[in-house]
């Protein structure tokens, strides 16, 4: 599915300094019943964000007007658990285009890359710097520069580079997805399939 | 060059390599279920392309199905709609479909092996993280997202970078009452819920060699709970014996050809792993979790660790205990519980029901416990009846439900209420996993059975028959 191209993102960020955030928290299973990809942002972090009576939980960061922006700053082992791509959809649909963490769970990271959310892995000390800066001033902007593969704190100019493989980077910059690529080598696949019995 | 089992299977499925990018990996067999597939089918529809190899995809309904009255129309309109979508998509594309009520219906990772869809040396994917289960047969099997489901439907390939390799050895003899589930929970507790992220694991050593195929499935199933992409065990005589004669297993000359390949599926002597860890079987006792991720497990006779003794964030740890309403240092034994769930792709097979029955036989379900016993498939359900296990369960005051994922992820009505404790044989104890506000204690079928008859966390060894 097509997504917006990603180039340079300059925005404030929402801090979520909790470790091992699993995809059941990002979107609980009972909201996976749709047959189309729409509206998942409404249920992003549903049970952390709302009380059972659907009133907002005031102390949860997404309900705090102090914080806003297109970057979600998670802590270590973000996105563990279920492979549900709905978690990445919910993040995107809510309005985030980038998730920062010191360590991502594998499947969630892949899912993000496939749908246009950029996972940016930073060192633990740099993650702390980001949290400290946002705590000091929630209007602190982060600059995520995909072509340069850098993330910068606009207040102090402190910067760190991040990894992304060349192929995925190119996809994100251009809004391509893997199926476009695979369909182009369909004949190779067909030949290969003949060598592997069902 | 010396190769690991993982190398052998992966390398033989690479269609194309992209420099500084992912490999294009050919997928032999693809399983789909109702929850993670509809958007993928919509995707190929909007692109106007067909399913490239429909005979390589198998569909079953499991995540979002009721476990009672399956012969009646599904009440929840959203669930019914999702099930209908799977049926229509399967039929439209010529994919074999084992829907609700079909004799072969069951949890995707239970029916795959049961019907021989799962084979050594194959690449198997499904939009479900517990696809790692199939690694028990020496397959590379792992969970994928919906975009990747669409890729497999459209091209029978996905694009992924090859994972790093890790070997986990467990040697020695397991103690009484210590099962494959305990081995897995023990390893996860040592590695943490992210300790194997970025790796594909091979399990080796006497303990896994001596395990039954079902035990191996439980271990491989839980690989994802330490962050691993997947886990696998080299196939051996036990593996070949298990798969022989199943519906989708090759026969005749095709079997012989397959065997030639399968017998090569072991890590070469001298091959190296990026990481190797060894544990001693005698250190493992029946396990139980006390927190909100599967790495938060302890031997059942131990106390809950103090925050200072735990690696990682103290705040996260304390938040977790607060959710569970447990205190640092608490003993787990004797904690009252409300629900017991026996089932899931982790422990919903016949051996799990045999183990559960061995404890509850001649005893009664505790009055304070609601028990959901959910077979992983109709085949498991039939075996429970044929082996007389159902009678034992009934006499002890238990009911058997119909197959499905059920309370493992509580998409259907099998939800543990807020604040209640469930001893569960499933795979995740995340906040709210078994229903909003629910509190899950992961354990083996033996520990679940001991809790079901005593109404509290109990060491199953106290209830086991003395070995003659």
**Cβ proximity of B231 and B219 under 8 Å:** yes
Let me know if the fold of B5-275 is the same as that of B287-462: yes
Average pLDDT of span B436-459: 98
Q: Which secondary-structure segment (H or E) carries B454?
A: helix B445-454
Yes or no, beta carbons of B56 and A83 under 8 Å apart: no
pLDDT in tens, B53-86: 999 999 999 999 999 999 999 999 999 999 999 9
Closest chain B C-alpha to A65 CA, distance in angstroms: 23
Average pLDDT of span B148-153: 98
Tell me the count of A-B CB pairs closer than 8 A: 203
For residue B400, name the pLDDT band (cuts at 50, 70, 90): very high
For residue B466, name the pLDDT band (cuts at 50, 70, 90): low
Closest chain B C-alpha to A18 CA, distance in angstroms: 6
Check residue B71 and give its pLDDT.
94
Check residue A196 and give its pLDDT.
85
B128 touches chain A (CB under 8 A): yes
pLDDT in tens, B199-255: 999 999 999 999 999 999 999 999 999 999 999 999 999 999 999 999 999 999 999
Average pLDDT of span B46-53: 97
Give the number of other Cβ atoms within 10 Å of residue B80's Cβ. Answer: 15
Is the pLDDT reported for residue B372 higher than 80? Answer: yes
Yes or no, beta carbons of B24 and A185 under 8 Å apart: yes
Average pLDDT of span A56-75: 97
Closest chain A C-alpha to B428 CA, distance in angstroms: 8
Disruptive mutation site among B157, B198, B307, B407 for chain A (greatest number of A CBs within 10 Å): B157
Is the pLDDT reported for residue B105 higher than 70? Answer: yes
Yes or no, beta carbons of A52 and B151 under 8 Å apart: no
**Cβ proximity of A103 and A44 under 8 Å:** no
Is the pLDDT reported for residue A55 higher than 60? Answer: yes
Check residue A197 and give its pLDDT.
75
Check residue A37 and give its pLDDT.
95
Yes or no, beta carbons of B428 and A81 under 8 Å apart: yes
Determine whether domain B5-275 maps to CATH 3.30.499.10: yes
Is the pLDDT reported for residue A2 higher than 80? Answer: no
DSSP per residue, chain A:
------SEEEEEEEEE--SS-BHHHHS-GGG---SSS-SGGGGTTHHHHB-TTS-B-TTSGGG-TT---SEEEE-SSBTBS---THHHHHHHHHT--EEEESSB-HHHHHHHHHHTPEEEE--HHHHHHHHHHHHH-TT-EEEEETTTTEEEETTT--EEE----HHHHHHHHHT--HHHHHHHTHHHHHHHHHHS--
Task: Name beta bridge partners: A14.
Answer: A72
Closest chain B C-alpha to A38 CA, distance in angstroms: 10
User: Which chain A residue's Cα is nearest to B14?
Assistant: A192
Is the pLDDT reported for residue B273 higher than 50? Answer: yes
Q: Is the ipTM of this complex over 0.90?
A: yes
Which CATH number describes the domain made up of B287-462?
Answer: 3.30.499.10
Check residue A1 and give its pLDDT.
64
- pTM listed for this prediction: 0.97
pLDDT in tens, A112-147: 999 999 999 999 999 999 999 999 999 999 999 999
Average pLDDT of span B171-175: 98
Q: Which CATH number fits domain A8-195: 3.40.50.10680, 3.30.420.10, 3.20.19.10, 3.40.30.160?
A: 3.20.19.10
Check residue B468 and give its pLDDT.
42
What are the chain B neighbours of A188 within 8 Å (beta carbons)? 15-16
User: Domain spans of chain B?
Assistant: 5-275, 287-462
Which residues 129-188 of chain B have a CB within 8 Å of chain A?
Answer: 129, 143-148, 150-151, 154-161, 163
User: Which chain B residue's Cα is nearest to A46?
Assistant: B436
**Cβ proximity of B88 and B57 under 8 Å:** no
């Amino acid at each position: 599915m097509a997504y917006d191209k990603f180039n340079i993102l300059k925005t404030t960020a929402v801090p979520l300094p909790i470790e091992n955030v699993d995809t059941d928290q990002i979107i609980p299973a009972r909201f996976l019943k749709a047959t189309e990809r729409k509206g998942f942002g409404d249920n992003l972090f549903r049970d952390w964000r709302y009380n059972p009576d659907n009133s907002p939980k005031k102390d949860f960061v997404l309900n705090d007007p102090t914080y806003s922006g297109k970057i979600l700053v998670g802590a270590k082992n973000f996105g563990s658990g279920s492979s549900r791509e709905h978690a990445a959809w919910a993040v995107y649909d809510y309005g985030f285009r980038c998730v920062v963490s010191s360590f991502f769970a594998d499947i969630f990271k892949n899912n993000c890359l496939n749908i246009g959310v950029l996972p940016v892995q930073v060192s633990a000390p740099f993650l702390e710097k980001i949290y400290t800066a946002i705590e000091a001033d929630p209007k602190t902007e982060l600059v995520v520069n995909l072509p340069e593969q850098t993330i910068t704190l606009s207040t102090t100019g402190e910067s760190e580079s991040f990894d992304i493989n060349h192929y995925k980077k190119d996809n994100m910059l251009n809004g391509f997805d893997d199926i476009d690529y695979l369909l182009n080598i369909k004949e190779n696949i067909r030949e290969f399939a003949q060598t592997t019995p069902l | 060059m010396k190769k690991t089992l993982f190398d052998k299977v992966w390398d033989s499925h690479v269609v194309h390599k992209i420099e500084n990018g992912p490999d294009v990996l050919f997928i032999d067999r693809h399983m789909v279920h109702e929850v993670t597939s509809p958007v993928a089918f919509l995707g190929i529809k909007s692109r106007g392309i067909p399913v490239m190899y429909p005979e390589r995809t198998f569909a079953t309904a499991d995540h979002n199905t009721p476990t009672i009255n399956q012969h009646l129309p599904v009440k929840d309109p959203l669930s019914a709609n999702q099930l209908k979508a799977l049926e229509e998509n399967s039929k439209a594309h010529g994919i074999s479909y084992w829907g609700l009520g079909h004799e072969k219906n069951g949890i995707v990772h239970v029916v795959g092996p049961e019907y021989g869809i799962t084979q050594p040396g194959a690449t198997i994917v499904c939009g479900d993280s517990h696809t790692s289960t199939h690694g028990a047969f020496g397959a590379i099997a792992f969970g994928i997202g919906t975009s990747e489901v669409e890729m497999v439907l459209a091209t029978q390939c996905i694009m992924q970078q090859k994972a790093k390799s890790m070997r986990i050895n467990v040697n020695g003899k397991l103690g009484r009452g210590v099962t494959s589930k305990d081995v897995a929970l023990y390893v996860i507790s040592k590695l943490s819920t992210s300790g194997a992220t970025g790796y594909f694991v091979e399990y080796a050593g006497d303990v896994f060699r001596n395990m039954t195929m079902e035990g191996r499935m439980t271990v491989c199933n839980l690989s994802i709970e330490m962050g691993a992409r997947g886990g696998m065990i080299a196939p051996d005589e036990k593996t070949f014996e298990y798969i022989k004669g199943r519906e989708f297993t090759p026969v005749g000359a095709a079997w012989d050809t397959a065997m030639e390949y399968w017998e090569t599926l072991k890590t070469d002597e001298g091959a190296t792993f990026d990481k190797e860890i060894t544990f001693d079987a005698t250190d493992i006792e029946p396990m139980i979790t006390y927190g909100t991720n599967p790495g938060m497990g302890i031997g059942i006779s131990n106390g809950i660790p103090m925050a200072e003794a735990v690696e990682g964030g103290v705040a996260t740890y304390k938040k977790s205990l607060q959710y569970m309403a447990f205190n640092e240092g608490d003993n787990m034994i004797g904690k009252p519980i409300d629900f017991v769930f026996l089932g899931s792709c982790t422990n919903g097979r016949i051996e799990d029901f045999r183990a559960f029955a061995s404890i509850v036989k001649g005893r009664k379900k505790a009055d304070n416990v609601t028990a959901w016993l959910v077979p992983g498939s109709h085949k498991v359900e039939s075996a429970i009846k044929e082996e007389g296990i159902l009678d034992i369960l009934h006499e002890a005051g238990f009911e058997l439900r119909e197959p499905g994922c059920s309370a493992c992820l509580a998409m259907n009505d099998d939800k543990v209420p807020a604040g209640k404790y469930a001893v569960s044989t499933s795979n995740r104890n995340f906040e709210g996993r078994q229903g909003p506000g629910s509190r899950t204690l992961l354990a083996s079928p033996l520990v679940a059975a001991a809790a079901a008859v005593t109404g509290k966390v109990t060491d199953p060894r106290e209830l086991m028959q003395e070995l003659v």
